[in-house]
C-alpha cells in the first residue's frame, strides 16, 4: 500500500488537528491583537474629537485664513444676510413732545438704524394703509393692461368704507383699479384686485400674509384687503416700513402713490363711456398741509378709522435727495396727524 494514501478517517483527523493547531496558534496572537485594536480605536477617537473641535473653532473665528480669505475676496453682496440693508431699531424708544401719534417710525434708505422710533413694534390697526400691501401684490401679479369687469365683489357692508365709486358692470383696466385703490382709497377697488388676482378675498388675504412673512413682517396679520377694523387685522409701524420699502422697488408704485390726481376713462354696464377723477387723500401731496422746507413727498398712503385713528405712511426726500420712510399711526385728529408727520419729516433735514 502506498504510504501516501490516507483513509477518510485519517484525513478527517488530520484536518481537525490542523484546525486545532491553528486555533492554538491564533489564540495566543489574539491575546495581543484585541487590546492593540482597542487601544488604537481609543486613540483614534481622541484624535477625532480634538481635531473636530479645532475645526469647529476655526470655522467661526474670523481670524482663520479660510474665513479671512472669504472676507477679502468674495463680493460684499454675496456675504449679506437677509435684511442686511434694512434699518433696525437698536436704541430706546424715542419720545418727542411734538409728536402725539401713538406709534411712529422713521428710517433712512440704506441706514443700519432707524432714525426715530416710538412704539414702532407695537401691533396696531393700520386702517387703509393696508392697501399698500394690496397694491404691492397687484404690482407683482396683475397685467395692468387687462380689462376687469366689476361684479358683486365691489359691495362693502361697512358704511364708513371709502369707495372709488366703481359700479357693478363697469369695465376698467387693472391699472385704473389700482389708481382707484391708492388715490381714492377705494375698498371696492381693493376687492376687485382680490378677486382677479387671488380668486377672492380669502385667497388674496393668504397671499398678503405669505408675502408679509417673506419680507420679514413679524408683527403683521391681515384678514381683509382694505383695512376695515377687525381684531385679527393688525400690523406695526416697522412692518409698514418694510412693506412700503418693498413696494418702492417697483417704479410704478412711486408713480401711482405719488400722483396728485388721476382721470379714469372706462365704460359702464351699458358700454357707455364713463369718467372719474380721483384726487389723492394725502394732504401733503395736494397742498392742504405744509411740508418742512425742502422736503418732497415721493409716495404715500393715508388711513383713518375710529379704531385706528389717523394714520399716514410716507416716502419722502430731504433737501439732499436722501430717501426716507416714515409711518405715523393713531394720531388723535387729522390736523394733528399732519403736524405729527411734519415733525417727523423735520428729522430728515437734521440727518443732512
Average pLDDT over the chain reads 84
* pLDDT at 86 (0 to 100): 87
Alpha-carbon torsion 288, 289, 293, 298, what sign? negative
267 is a domain residue: yes
* pLDDT at 184 (0 to 100): 97
- DSSP letters spanning 100-167: --SEEEEEETT-SB-SEEESTTS-B--GGGGHHHHHHHHHHH--TTSEEE--GGG----TT-------
* pLDDT at 189 (0 to 100): 98
How far apart, in whole angstroms, are the C-alpha atoms of residue 57 and residue 215? 33
Query: In terms of residue numbers, what domain contains 242?
Result: 103-350
Among 68-82, 101-115, 217-231, where is mean pLDDT lowest?
A: 68-82
Q: How far is CA 318 from CA 7, 111, 345, 346, 347, in A?
A: 112, 14, 8, 9, 9
My answer on whether 61 and 209 are in the same domain is: no
Average pLDDT of 148-168? 95
Q: Which of 24, 56, 74 is the last residue of a domain?
A: 74
How far apart, in whole angstroms, are the C-alpha atoms of residue 237 and residue 144? 29
My answer on whether 34 and 121 are in the same domain is: no
Q: Any idea of the CA torsion for 144, 146, 149, 152, to the nearest 10 degrees?
A: -50
Q: Which of 58, 74, 90 is the last residue of a domain?
A: 74
- The DSSP secondary-structure symbol of 305 reads E
Nearest to 188 by CA among 233, 143, 229, 128: 128
pLDDT in tens, 265-293: 999 999 999 999 999 999 999 999 999 99
My answer on whether 139 and 246 are in the same domain is: yes
How far apart, in whole angstroms, are the C-alpha atoms of residue 68 and residue 73? 9
83 is a domain residue: no
82 is a domain residue: no
How far apart, in whole angstroms, are the C-alpha atoms of residue 243 and residue 239? 6
* pLDDT at 89 (0 to 100): 85
Tally helices (H) and strands (E) across the chain: 10, 9
My answer on whether 133 and 42 are in the same domain is: no
| Number of domains present in the structure of the chain | 2
My answer on whether 198 and 278 are in the same domain is: yes
> Given a cut of 80, is residue 66 above it in pLDDT?
no
Per DSSP bridges, beta strands 323-331 and 309-317 are: antiparallel
pTM: 0.77
Average pLDDT of 122-135? 98
Give backbone dihedrals phi and psi of 215, rounded to 5 degrees, phi first.
Answer: -100, 10
My answer on whether 111 and 12 are in the same domain is: no
Residues 31-47 as b/e (b if ≥16 CB within 10 A, e otherwise) read eeeeeeeeeeeeeeeee
93 is a domain residue: no
Nearest to 341 by CA among 286, 295, 305: 295
My answer on whether 139 and 64 are in the same domain is: no
21 catalytic per annotation: no
My answer on whether 33 and 147 are in the same domain is: no
Reading the block at residue 344, the C-alpha cell is: 417727523
* pLDDT at 64 (0 to 100): 37
CATH number at residue 136: 3.40.710.10
98 is a domain residue: no
Give backbone dihedrals phi and psi of 249, rounded to 5 degrees, phi first.
Answer: -70, -20
My answer on whether 135 and 204 are in the same domain is: yes
128 catalytic per annotation: yes
96 is a domain residue: no
94 is a domain residue: no
78 catalytic per annotation: no
Average pLDDT of 29-46? 59
My answer on whether 10 and 117 are in the same domain is: no
Q: Which of 128, 162, 316, 326 is catalytic?
A: 128
* pLDDT at 93 (0 to 100): 73
141 is a domain residue: yes
Q: Which of 87, 103, 162, 185 is catalytic?
A: 185
My answer on whether 217 and 341 are in the same domain is: yes
Q: Which of 21, 54, 74 is the last residue of a domain?
A: 74
My answer on whether 118 and 165 are in the same domain is: yes
Q: Which of 118, 131, 330, 347 is catalytic?
A: 131
Amino acid at each position: 500500500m502506498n504510504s501516501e494514501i490516507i483513509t477518510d478517517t485519517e484525513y478527517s483527523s488530520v484536518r481537525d488537528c490542523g484546525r486545532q493547531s491553528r486555533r492554538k496558534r491564533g489564540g495566543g496572537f489574539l491575546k495581543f491583537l484585541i487590546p492593540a485594536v482597542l487601544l488604537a480605536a481609543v486613540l483614534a477617537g481622541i484624535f477625532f474629537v480634538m481635531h473636530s473641535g479645532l475645526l469647529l473653532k476655526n470655522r467661526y473665528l474670523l481670524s482663520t485664513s479660510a474665513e479671512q480669505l472669504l472676507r477679502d475676496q468674495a463680493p460684499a453682496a454675496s456675504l449679506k444676510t437677509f435684511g442686511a440693508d434694512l434699518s433696525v431699531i437698536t436704541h430706546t424708544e424715542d419720545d418727542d413732545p411734538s409728536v402725539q401719534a401713538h406709534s411712529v417710525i422713521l428710517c433712512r434708505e440704506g441706514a443700519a438704524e432707524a432714525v426715530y422710533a416710538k412704539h414702532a413694534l407695537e401691533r396696531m390697526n393700520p386702517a387703509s394703509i393696508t392697501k399698500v400691501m394690496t397694491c404691492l401684490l397687484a404690482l407683482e401679479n396683475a397685467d395692468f393692461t387687462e380689462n376687469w369687469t366689476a361684479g358683486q365683489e365691489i359691495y362693502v357692508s361697512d358704511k364708513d368704507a371709502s369707495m372709488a365709486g366703481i359700479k357693478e358692470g363697469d369695465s376698467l383696466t387693472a391699472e385704473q383699479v389700482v389708481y382707484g385703490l391708492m388715490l381714492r382709497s377705494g375698498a371696492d377697488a381693493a376687492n376687485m384686485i382680490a378677486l382677479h388676482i387671488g380668486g377672492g378675498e380669502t385667497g388674496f388675504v393668504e397671499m398678503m400674509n405669505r408675502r408679509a412673512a417673506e419680507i420679514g413682517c413679524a408683527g403683521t396679520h391681515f384678514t381683509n384687503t382694505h383695512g376695515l377694523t377687525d381684531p385679527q387685522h393688525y400690523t406695526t409701524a416697522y412692518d409698514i416700513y418694510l412693506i412700503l420699502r418693498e413696494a418702492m422697488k417697483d417704479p410704478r408704485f412711486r408713480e401711482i402713490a405719488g400722483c396728485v390726481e388721476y382721470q379714469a376713462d372706462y365704460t359702464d354696464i351699458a358700454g357707455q363711456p364713463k369718467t372719474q377723477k380721483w384726487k389723492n387723500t394725502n394732504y401733503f401731496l395736494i397742498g392742504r398741509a405744509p411740508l418742512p422746507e425742502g422736503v418732497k413727498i415721493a409716495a404715500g398712503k393715508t388711513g383713518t378709522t375710529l379704531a385706528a385713528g389717523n394714520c399716514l405712511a410716507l416716502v419722502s426726500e430731504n433737501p439732499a435727495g436722501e430717501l426716507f420712510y416714515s409711518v405715523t399711526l393713531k394720531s388723535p385728529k387729522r390736523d394733528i396727524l399732519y403736524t405729527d408727520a411734519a415733525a417727523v419729516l423735520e428729522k430728515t433735514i437734521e440727518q443732512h
